[in-house]
A = this chain, B = another copy of it.
Amino acid sequence: MIETIQWIDDCVVMIDQTRLPVEEKYVHCRTYQEVATAIRDMIIRGAPAIGVAAAMGVALGVLRTPDEAVDGQFETICETLARTRPTAVNLFWAIDRMKRLYGSVRAQPVGEIRRRMIEEALRVREEDIAICRAIGRNGEPLVPAERTILTHCNAGALATAGYGTALGVIRAAVEAGKNVDVFADETRPFLQGARLTVWELQQDQIPTTLITDNMAGHFLKSGRIGCVVVGADRIAANGDVANKIGTYSVAVLAKENNVPFFVAAPISTLDLTLASGDQIPIEERAAVEVTHVFGQQVAPEQSRVENPAFDVTPSRYVSAIITEKGVARAPYEDSLRKLAG
């Protein structure tokens, strides 16, 4: 069985998601800088998984820093990890959680600080798996039986510590005995759908069909899709959802064809400090991700490229937001605030 991210022998060990499915290779991070690089280079990706990686990165930084330097270095460790990717809020949520703990233990002996930081990072990971299971339980009743579920990108075990958010809902539907199959958008440019979603659903023997992103509309129009389920990288107070580029298109096409569009995400993905999705920073990534595929050139040299990694789906296209604490529906200002407690 594949593990997305683990703490082994005082290293952070991740499966290299840039190489899947061609190669199942693990990356061992020995320093917090290596964790930061792994997040930036998308060796690990997916909002909840990034949160776990950041928490482990902070713990690793504290572990590797000489006793006398820990207090001086702590902010640098956190900042380095925070500067890796701007959109997924789980990154900042996890770092804040580690900072709060640090604040409460910094007066203690360094050995004790280290022990507590590692323990907390492991707890973030364990909680994430439990949260995904709860999201699955809460989302499963929304999934129509005997139909096809469309998903975009990878919001699966590989995007979390395990089980997945959107794919957690699908797994829960299968576990509940529903006869469903999955259509996976390939999700250019990084091909998370083709490379990761198809691969991990194959492991679970959930019947999955790969399509290119531009086929989603055609199949939504065809009537065979019963619902869409995707993950999220950040959700604003009004229910606007930042998620992998292309999510907005799928949401519009779902609404146009009267297909329910569900977002599955942990409460840590909520950013209630933002009134709307317009305020969510959208990461722009390198042109080479679009012009090359696994190193193979697919566009002319010197192509001008735009490569926003995310888009924002206005909440009017979102049928429900599925969290570990329950299902939110419009008006989201109220329902999300209630769930967040």
Tell yes or no: A209 within 8 A of B by CB. yes
Count contacts on A: residues with CB < 8 A to the other chain. 55
Which of A85-93, A131-139, A241-249 contacts its partner?
A: A241-249
Tell yes or no: A118 within 8 A of B by CB. no
Tell yes or no: A252 within 8 A of B by CB. yes
Known: A209-B306, A304-B208. A194 touches B249 (CB 8 A): no
Tell yes or no: A107 within 8 A of B by CB. no
Q: Which residues between 244 and 301 of chain A lie within 8 Å of chain B, taking CB atoms? A: 245-246, 248-249, 252-253, 256, 290-291, 293-301
Chain B residues within an 8 Å CB radius of A11: none
CB distance from A146 to the nearest CB of B (A): 18
CB distance from A305 to the nearest CB of B (A): 5
The answer, among B213, B256, B303, for a CB contact under 8 Å with A212, is B213
Tell yes or no: A21 within 8 A of B by CB. yes
Tell yes or no: A142 within 8 A of B by CB. no
Known: A294-B298, A299-B21. A213 touches B188 (CB 8 A): yes
Known: A186-B290, A211-B306, A218-B311. A299 touches B253 (CB 8 A): no
Tell me the number of copies of this protein: 2
The docked-state distance in angstroms from the alpha carbon of A194 to that of B305 is 10
Chain B residues within an 8 Å CB radius of A215: 245-246, 306-308, 311
Known: A194-B298, A209-B306, A296-B296. A216 touches B249 (CB 8 A): yes
Known: A217-B246, A252-B217. A209 touches B304 (CB 8 A): yes
Tell yes or no: A76 within 8 A of B by CB. no
The answer, among B198, B249, B291, for a CB contact under 8 Å with A303, is B198
Tell yes or no: A191 within 8 A of B by CB. yes
Q: Which residue of B lies closest to A249 (CB)?
A: B217
Chain B residues within an 8 Å CB radius of A252: 217, 252-253, 256
CB distance from A309 to the nearest CB of B (A): 10
Chain B residues within an 8 Å CB radius of A249: 214, 216-218, 249, 253
Tell yes or no: A22 within 8 A of B by CB. yes
Inter-subunit contact B199/A214 (CB<8 Å) = no
Tell yes or no: A26 within 8 A of B by CB. no
CB distance from A35 to the nearest CB of B (A): 27
Known: A198-B299, A293-B296. A245 touches B210 (CB 8 A): no
Tell yes or no: A7 within 8 A of B by CB. no
Q: Which residue of B lies closest to A251 (CB)?
A: B217
Q: Which residue of B lies closest to A187 (CB)?
A: B214
* Interface pairs (25), CB distance under 8 Å: A152-B214, A183-B306, A187-B214, A188-B213, A191-B299, A194-B303, A195-B298, A198-B299, A207-B304, A208-B304, A210-B290, A210-B303, A211-B307, A212-B290, A212-B307, A214-B246, A214-B249, A215-B245, A215-B246, A215-B311, A218-B249, A252-B252, A294-B298, A295-B296, A296-B296
